[in-house]
């Protein structure tokens, strides 16, 4: 939908584009906050269990069909952080490239 500018389910040309995706701040009546970053970690070494300043990286963008509500999500500015997180087995982040047996992409 992001490139075709049409809903992939119903072909409707009317789309909502939301970037970045935000969530209501439940402690306030009039504030919204960014959806938590795609990747979150505590500063320090990737392999260690250190607790430091929390760092978030990346953001989500969505395309929503105005007719049927079908929604596409995209993660932006995440490759560098996710590549770093693959070094920590507890992060739950794993990389897959069906065309190569090498490590994670460095840019994106």
How many CA atoms lie within 13 Å of 24's alpha carbon, on the beta-carbon side? Answer: 5
- Is-contact 18 61, C-beta < 8 A? yes
Task: Confirm or reject binding of residue 65 to Zn ion (CB under 5 A).
Answer: yes
Residues with Cβ within 8 Å of residue 44, at least 6 apart in sequence: 50, 51, 52
Nearer to Zn ion, 9 or 94 (CB): 9
- Nearest-approach distance from CB 17 to Zn ion, in angstroms: 14
Nearer to Zn ion, 15 or 83 (CB): 15
Residues engaged in binding Zn ion (CB under 5 A): 7, 9-10, 12, 65, 67-68, 70
């Amino acid at each position: 939908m992001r490139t075709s500018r049409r809903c992939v389910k119903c072909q409707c040309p009317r789309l909502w584009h939301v970037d970045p995706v935000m969530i209501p701040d439940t402690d306030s009546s009039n504030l919204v906050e960014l959806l938590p970053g795609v990747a979150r970690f505590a500063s320090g070494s990737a392999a260690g269990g250190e607790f430091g300043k929390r760092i978030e990286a990346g953001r989500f963008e969505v395309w929503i069909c105005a007719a049927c509500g079908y929604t596409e999500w995209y993660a932006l500015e995440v490759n560098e952080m996710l590549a770093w997180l693959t070094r920590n087995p507890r992060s739950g982040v794993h990389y897959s490239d069906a065309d190569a047996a090498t490590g994670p992409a460095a840019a994106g």
